[in-house]
Amino acid sequence: MRISQYFKLNKEQPYLDFVDIRLDTDLAVFVDPGRLRSLQSTWATECLSLIQDYFDTVLKKINNGDDEGAINLLSCLKESNDFHFGFSKGKSRGNGMGDGSAHDVWGALTKSKASITGLLQDLEDTCLLIDGIGPDRISDAVCNILRGPLIQYTQEVCNYYGIELTPDVASGPVWNPDKELWEERLIALPMTEYGRVILVPKIIVRHQIWYDSQEYYRYYLLPHMQSEEKRLHTALVETLKDGRTRVTKKSLMHKYGADKLAVVEQTLKHPSVLDNYREAKKKRFPKPMDHETLADIETTPPPDFALKLKKLSAVPPGRDHATVYENLIEEILSALFYPCLTSPTKQHNIHEGRKRIDLTYVNSASSGFFAWLAMHYPSGHIFIECKNFSSDISNPELDQLSGRFSPSRGRVGLLLYREIDNREKFIQRCIDTAKDDRGFIIPLGDTDLAELIGNYLENPKSQAFSHLKSLFNRLIM
């Protein structure tokens, strides 16, 4: 049973901001630090800071000979059943670095030259260089280190989607970077018959971790070693009949070994290889999982835009049906603009509660229209105003949305409406608003929404949103 089913949300994965985990087992997805690095949000920066702080603290204790302190820090990574990620079959068990495995990980870290030589810089490096640490352990460690921010996220999305929170639930160990220790407190969390649940944004998970030990070894380290052997003309160099020379990867593995201890030894001899690998990863961030990939892994349906449009057309215009209209718009936009727009909030209060915004998204785009928007205009947040009108929209409606813009929040919004008599006149009002430096309001009627969806269905992987871009161009040309 999925958490959406348990709490009767009547929503499927494409319309949810979090991973719709199964409560009775694990889902084969992992929290990837590389995905966090691709995001420009304050939340992602806080998460990365926590991970780095924890990892530096563990290494400091190991290098200072504080073995007991290091083991204690590692042992608190055991509480991983709350997230339901991993390879477990049947009931979730978790596969973190805690319990007895804390001693194993500590042993591997203390024995590895990677720890004491400064080769390890980030938590993901352990996946490349430390025996016994793979993507599932990295993900479990990250989830636990980020327990604090993920608890806050869980509470926010539970309030957003109407998931019941149970008060006075033990939080599990929460990393305190100031005190360099784990703390536990009583908090509000969703509780099920399977235990407490901590939710994770789907934008930060992947089917595999971006750092890959085999990729590093076979496509970075071994080719460099081949070049070095040929340069030094060692006994491993073979001369072919046509006069060309070669060094086989098989001969290198036979001579130097292929386990992680061997990888560390060779990386210490050729440190530039690891630097090059890190730089390559920084230049090309891992992409988030799209709807189709999530649907395949979770065995759930992809978004059904045809059904949503059919439901939308059945909603009569007018104030009495505004809530139904707004809820449908939220589902359509959340699925259509994912992964560009994330973390929706409804009826967002600003100016100490004096003004409210129907819907607000965080601009998380790394490519396409919304990424371009973020590079050229204040648009860290995108504001949505829903008007279930079939009559002309007047200046007060535009002023209502533009009055909520600010350089810090963002100055771009979408105004959703049904159909109006004089569309060109309305667009001209939006152009005038932009020319008066009161922000950029993109008008979207039902037909615009249908066109955006049509473009998406033609190329689901594109984030160009050409129709949206053409409407925005009219505001700035």
Give the highest mean pLDDT range of 84-98, 102-116, 232-246. 232-246
Average pLDDT over the chain, rounded to whole? 91
Q: Are 117 and 150 in contact (CB under 8 A)?
A: no
Q: Which domains does the chain have, with CATH numbers?
A: 3-206 (no CATH), 213-283 (no CATH), 303-476 (3.40.91.30)
Phi-psi region of 79 (alpha: psi -120 to 50; beta: other; left: phi over 0): beta
Where do we find the tokens 């909030």? 345
pLDDT band at 419 (very low <50, low <70, confident <90, very high): confident
Query: Of the candidates 419, 246, 460, which has an alpha carbon nearest to the alpha carbon of residue 335?
Result: 460
Q: What is the pLDDT of residue 165?
A: 98
Q: Which two tokens stand for residue 229?
A: 């052997």
Q: Per-residue pLDDT averaged across 200-214, rounded? A: 94
Q: What is the pLDDT of residue 389?
A: 78
Q: Per-residue pLDDT averaged across 290-304, rounded? A: 95
Backbone angles phi, psi at 93, to 5 degrees: -120, -25
Q: Are 266 and 248 in contact (CB under 8 A)?
A: no
Q: Are 410 and 441 in contact (CB under 8 A)?
A: no
pLDDT band at 93 (very low <50, low <70, confident <90, very high): low
Q: What is the pLDDT of residue 347?
A: 67
Least confident of 152-161, 183-192, 395-404: 395-404
Kindly give the residue spans of alpha helices, DSSP state H, lying in 284-362.
291-298, 305-313, 322-336
Q: Per-residue pLDDT averaged across 320-326, rounded? A: 93
DSSP three-state, residue 170: strand
pLDDT band at 354 (very low <50, low <70, confident <90, very high): very low
pLDDT band at 102 (very low <50, low <70, confident <90, very high): low
pLDDT band at 353 (very low <50, low <70, confident <90, very high): very low
Tens digits of residue pLDDT in 177-197: 999 999 999 999 999 999 999
Question: Can you name the residues that pair with 30 across neighbouring β-strands?
Answer: 206
Where do we find the tokens 């060779």? 266
Cα separation, 70 vs 127, in Å, equals 18
pLDDT at residue 8 greater than cutoff 70:
yes
pLDDT band at 100 (very low <50, low <70, confident <90, very high): very low
Q: What is the pLDDT of residue 398?
A: 80
pLDDT at residue 111 greater than cutoff 50:
yes
DSSP three-state, residue 188: strand
